[in-house]
Amino acid sequence: MRILIYTGKGGVGKTGICSATAVKAASLGYKTIVMSTDQAHSLSDAFEMKIGASPVPVAERLDAIEIDPAVESERTWGNLKDYLRQIIEEKSGASLAAEEALIFPGLEELSSLLRILDFCQQNTYDVMIVDCAPTGETLSLLRYPEQLRVFTDKVLPMVRSFNSALGGLISRATTVPKPRDAVFEEMDRLVKRLNELQLILRDRNTTSLRIVMTPESIVVTEAERCYTWLNAFDFGVDAVYVNRIYPPEATEGNFAGWADMQEQSLRRIEKSFADQAVFRLMLQDREIRGLNTLEDVAGQLYSGEREDPTAVFCHQESYTVVRDPADGSWVMTIRLPQLEREDISVGKEEGDLILGICNQTRRFHLNDQCGRREISGWEYGDGLLRIVFGA
């Protein structure tokens, strides 16, 4: 199943672009589903019909679904929440306080992303198009699996051993219940599913992330930042969409200043995203809603060599690791555009690389060639970070 994930700053028109893309894919003969994981669902508005938590047909060969994060969260880790609720209620005696305390920021949205894995395993669709949350929330969700790996690899085994040896004793001596085996089994299943999802999302032949923006400097800056982070986490970006481009007649008179600012933003976009396909959509004379309008927008976006939106428009890798034959060292190169050297920090802990970018940190496990060696130096230039692991 081909997966297209759309993200971008809130209010740039992701839902309209996603819906039009889905309509186009279905018209080309692909069995398509468009899915919203954004809590502020808008697919029902775009297709002008009721869409819920189960797939409903909205056009020929096209289904739509709006995921309910609360339902997915309960399905994903209900046992863990039940156990934590027991502890809180035991201590506080207030069930309402327990429910409020068990609202974990981001975990409900992450449950929504796991539906991608479900649809992949069911294999009933050719194409899935995902209307994702705004940029910041999307990046947080994509980071969760790696953060959870540190917990499950290092903390959970210790807790499980401790629980096996002393859990019953502690339960009898205190009011804290011993964790049921179902809690640990649920965590194991969750980690396994997240790892499977990560493999799918990082397979550039299967999944493409696409950034939607408008030609405004603040929006373009966030899109550039998003692109950098997606590269840092090794997700394949193959296209960007510039929405609501003002036509010449809209920038006359009192709005003449917008023409120059818009042109500057468009030139900046072409430079910053030179490796990606850039799709442009003019400001429409009506709202992008209703099947006829979506078909019209799809026709404006996709034509000629780019008629098929399911194509992979860029295969460029974010990470490469090669051996230097001169001294036997290994060199990791990471594509991190639009940064300054002072924005980056590089470190190593055991077999993990600690990569700092601005105020964010990514920790990930190195392969054997690099994991056994120490970092002997690194440099950044032309949008590329080169880390040398000594011989």
* Beta strand segments in the chain, E: 2-8, 32-36, 56-59, 62-66, 127-131, 207-213, 237-245, 277-282, 319-323, 330-335, 344-349, 352-357, 360-365, 375-381, 384-389
Give dist(CA 37, CA 55) in Å, integer: 13
pLDDT, residue 106, reads: 54
- Can you give the pLDDT at residue 164? 54
pLDDT at 195: 82
pLDDT tens sequence across 337-349 = 999 999 999 999 9
Give 37's pLDDT tier (boundaries 50, 70, 90): confident
pLDDT at residue 109, as a whole number: 62
Structure tokens at 255: 């709005």
Mean pLDDT, to the nearest integer, of 230-252?
92
Distance CA 374, CA 26 (A): 51
Read off the pLDDT of residues 91-150 as tens digits, 9 standing for 90 and up. Answer: 555 554 445 544 555 566 677 788 899 999 999 999 999 998 776 666 666 666 666 665
Q: What is the pLDDT of residue 143?
A: 66
Asked if the model's pLDDT at residue 161 lies above 60, the reply is: no
**Least confident interval from 29-38, 63-72, 274-283, 291-300:** 63-72
* Answer CATH for 2-70+106-143+196-306 from 3.20.20.140, 3.40.50.360, 3.40.50.300, 1.10.10.10: 3.40.50.300
Reported confidence tier of residue 166, pLDDT bands at 50, 70, 90: very low
Distance CA 203, CA 198 (A): 9
> 3-state DSSP call for residue 72?
helix
DSSP, residue by residue, 139-176: HHHHHHHHHHHHIIIIIHHHHHHHHHHHHHHHHHHSSP
41 pLDDT tier (thresholds 50, 70, 90):
confident
What mean pLDDT comes out for the span 230-247? 94
Written out in words, the top-level CATH class of the domain with range 319-389 is mainly beta
Which pLDDT score, from 0 to 100, does residue 101 have? 47
Per-residue pLDDT at 87? 59
Q: What are phi and psi of 308, to 5 degrees?
A: -95, 110
pLDDT in tens, 366-383: 999 899 999 999 999 999
Domain boundaries along the sequence of the chain: 2-70+106-143+196-306, 319-389
Question: Considering the entire predicted model, what is its pTM?
Answer: 0.85
